[in-house]
Amino acid sequence: MTAPSNPPASFSDDPTPEPGPVTVDRVRADTVARLARAGIEDAEVDADLLIGHVLGQSRGQVQAAAIMGRVLTAPVAAAIADLVQRREKREPLQHITGRAPFRGLELNVGPGVFVPRPETEGVAQIAIDALRSMADPEPIGVDLGTGSGAIALALATEVPHARVYACENSAEAFPWTSRNFAEVAAPNATLVFADLAEAFGELDGTVSVVVSNPPYIPADAIPRDPEVRLFDPAQALFGGEDGLDVVRLVSQTGLRLLHAGGALIIEHGELQGAEIRALLDSDGWRATATHRDLTTRDRTTTAVRP
């Protein structure tokens, strides 16, 4: 027998739903509709992930359970409904699940730490490639303002012969960073609580790659996405009047840390490439270049230490 298509009263906005078993298929369809109405672009993906978080299942397993007509208990359906309500209010999916995928990692995230974005995976790839290309048998990589630790831990795990150092100066973010470093437990990764301009004086002139995803939004700009505007920490977003205050610090710190021929990699907004290249050229960097992400937007500027 086919289960009724309308969701149960405890889950749906419909005040007069049909009675019947609460199946994964019904809850999933209702969740997709609700999230789409809330303006969430990938409503189907988020629905699968929310349901899977409660059930302890992958997206594929959730979809299989929907096809097979799996019935949910009332407590499980209520738990899913609670999470859906939070997502409808545009609370980040990663805050709800407590996890954020990044390349091959699963990172702990929540209030106070910037949630790593897919586009930053490409920034990390540039840094990984640069670190791998170094002739030094044990090259050093530094991540300035590491946030969740995403880039630094990707470097450490994907370039295991390198030594990777990372700093973070947010008291709200640092507990998340520490937890991720402890969980990944990369033996070649070191984390410190410090301002990026002052960190790692003992490494001056010895580093092969410096990478940073600094705050770069101008102070008077308003982020479009509610997930960013309402939930991401301001310290991780805003970079002063023109958005480049921290980029300037990254440039100066990179000159201090890198050896000749070392690489600087900076993530930035899609309209900032030319301005950052000019800034780096003025500081004396060589071979400045801006690279696009998978959506063809300018995302990363690189330079070489003279």
Locus of tokens 């949910």 = 72
Clarify whether 213 is annotated catalytic: yes
From the candidates 17, 92, 213, 231, which is the catalytic residue? 213
**Looking at the DSSP assignment, which residues form a beta bridge with residue 211?**
143, 265
* Helix (H), strand (E), coil (C) string for the chain: CCCCCCCCCCCCCCCCCCCCCCEHHHHHHHHHHHHHHCCCCCHHHHHHHHHHHHHCCCHHHHHHHHHCCCECCHHHHHHHHHHHHHHHCCCCHHHHHCEEEECCEEEECCCCCCCCCHHHHHHHHHHHHHHHHCCCCCCEEEEECCCCCHHHHHHHHHCCCCEEEEEECCCCCHHHHHHHHHHHCCCCEEEEECCCCCCCHHHCCCEEEEEECCCCECCCCCCCCHHHHHHCCHHHCECCCCCCHHHHHHHHHHHHHEEEEEEEEEECCCCCHHHHHHHHHHHCCEEEEEEECCCCCEEEEEEECC
Distance between CA atoms of residues 149 and 146, nearest Å: 5
Per the rule left: phi > 0, alpha: psi between -120 and 50, beta: everything else, 194 is: beta
- Determine whether 114 is an active site residue: yes
Both tokens of 208, joined, read: 């092969």
Catalytic residue among 7, 11, 108, 114: 114
Q: Taking Cα atoms as reference points, which of 285, 296, 172 lies closest to residue 234?
A: 172
Catalytic residue among 139, 214, 215, 238: 214
Q: Which residues are catalytic?
A: 114, 213-214
